Amino acid sequence: MPAIVVGVDGGGTKTRALVADESGKALADVEGPGSAVKPGQADRSAQVIAETVALALEAAEMTHVMPKVLCVGVAGVGRENERQALWQALAEREISEEILVHADATVALDDAFGDGPGVLLIAGTGSVAFGRGPTGTFARCGGWGPAIGDEGSGAWIGRRALSVVTAAADGREPETALTGAVLTAAQVNEVSELIAWAAAATPAMLATLAPAVMSEAAAGDLRANALLSLAVEELTLHVRALARQLFTDERASVPVALTGGLLKRGQPLRKRLEQRMKSAVPGAIVQAGDVDAARGAVRGALRFLGGNAVGV
Would you say residue 79 lies in a domain? yes
What was the pLDDT predicted at 265?
86
Would you say residue 15 lies in a domain? yes
Q: Is pLDDT of 54 > 80?
A: yes
Would you say residue 297 lies in a domain? yes
21 three-state secondary structure:
strand
Question: How many domains would you assign to the chain?
Answer: 1
What was the pLDDT predicted at 239?
97
What was the pLDDT predicted at 110?
87
Q: What is the DSSP string of 44-82?
A: HHHHHHHHHHHHHHHHTT-TTS--SEEEEEETT--SHHH
Q: H-helix or E-strand containing 9? A: strand 4-10
Phi-psi region of 82 (alpha: psi -120 to 50; beta: other; left: phi over 0): alpha
Instruction: Give the span between the Cα atoms of 108 and 85, in whole angstroms.
Output: 21
Would you say residue 200 lies in a domain? no
Q: Dmax over Cα atoms in the chain, in whole Å?
A: 68
pLDDT tens digits, one per residue of 77-135: 877 889 999 999 999 999 999 999 998 878 888 899 988 999 999 898 899 899 999 99
Q: Is pLDDT of 310 > 60?
A: no
Would you say residue 175 lies in a domain? no
Q: H-helix or E-strand containing 237? A: helix 222-247
Instruction: Give the span between the Cα atoms of 75 and 34, in whole angstroms.
Output: 10
What was the pLDDT predicted at 1?
64
What was the pLDDT predicted at 51?
96
What was the pLDDT predicted at 309?
45
Would you say residue 61 lies in a domain? yes
312 three-state secondary structure:
coil
Q: Are 4 and 27 in contact (CB under 8 A)?
A: yes
Instruction: Give the span between the Cα atoms of 150 and 252, in whole angstroms.
Output: 26
Give 266: exposed, middle or buried? Use CB within 10 Å, 0-12, 13-18, 19+. exposed
Q: Which domain holds residue 96?
A: 4-110+292-305
Would you say residue 20 lies in a domain? yes
99 three-state secondary structure:
strand
What was the pLDDT predicted at 305?
85
Question: For all residues of the chain together, what is the average pLDDT?
Answer: 92
Instruction: Give the span between the Cα atoms of 45 and 50, in whole angstroms.
Output: 9
**CATH value at residue 25:** 3.30.420.40
Q: What percent of the chain has pLDDT over 70?
A: 98
Confidence of residue 30 (pLDDT cuts 50, 70, 90): very high
- CA-closest candidate to residue 71, choices 23, 5, 130: 5
28 three-state secondary structure:
strand
Query: Which amino acid, one-letter code, is at 263?
Result: L
The pTM of this model reads 0.78
Q: What is the DSSP string of 286-301?
A: E--SPP-HHHHHHHHH
Give 263: exposed, middle or buried? Use CB within 10 Å, 0-12, 13-18, 19+. buried
pLDDT tens digits, one per residue of 187-232: 999 999 999 999 999 998 999 999 999 999 999 999 999 999 999 9
Would you say residue 83 lies in a domain? yes
What was the pLDDT predicted at 308?
44
